[in-house]
Amino acid sequence: MFGLWKGIYNTLSCMLYMTLQNTNKKESKNKNTNKTGNMLERKYMDLLVSQGYVVERAIRRIIKKGNNRFLNIGSDFFGLFDLIALKDNKILFVQVTSGNWHTKNELIEFADKIKNPNITFILAKYNKEKDAFDEFRYKYNKNNHN
C-alpha cells in the first residue's frame, strides 16, 4: 500500500511542477463567463466533497485590462484540469465546462501520455435543463494501446 501512495505522491509532485511551469493565460471579454465557470467548478467540487473526496481547485485570477476587457489568468492543472480529487486509492482529474465537449480529445491524449491506470479523467459538462452534470469518464487501459 505504501508503494501505491509513494507512486501517487511522485506523480502528483511531477504534475504540480509541470503545472507551475505552464501557466495558462486566456483573454476574456465576458466577465459573466468567468463567473459561471467559477460557480460550476465550485458546484462540482461540492459534489465530490459530499462523496468523500478531498479536492484541490486550480487558482484563477481575473485582471481588468481596459474598458470591458479582462485577462483571465488560469493555472489549470496542466492547462487542462480544474480540479484534482483524492479518496482512498482513487484519483480524479476533472475539467468542468458549461459549453461543448471540445476538451474531450485533449483529455484522452493527456491520459494516454500519462499512462496511469489509477487516475480517472473526467469531463463534467453542466446540463442546465437537468440542473446536473453530464460526465465523460476516461481511464487509461494499457490493453487498448498495444
Q: Could you tell me the CATH number of the domain that includes residue 133?
A: 3.40.1350.10
Quote the pLDDT of residue 116: 92
pLDDT at 139: 93
pLDDT at 39: 86
Which residues, other chains included, contact 124 with Cβ-Cβ below 8 Å and sequence gap of 6+?
44, 94, 95, 96, 97, 133, 134, 135
| Domain span including residue 14 | 2-145
Give me the phi and psi of 95, to 5 degrees please: -110, 120
Please tell me the total count of domains within the chain: 1
The low-confidence residues of the chain, meaning pLDDT below 50, are 16-17, 19-30
**Sign, CA torsion 115/94/27/62:** negative
- Position 130 scores a pLDDT of 93
**Res 13: pLDDT:** 56
CA dihedral 101, 102, 105, 107 (to 10 degrees): -80
For residue 64, what pLDDT is reported? 72
Residue 145 confidence (pLDDT): 60
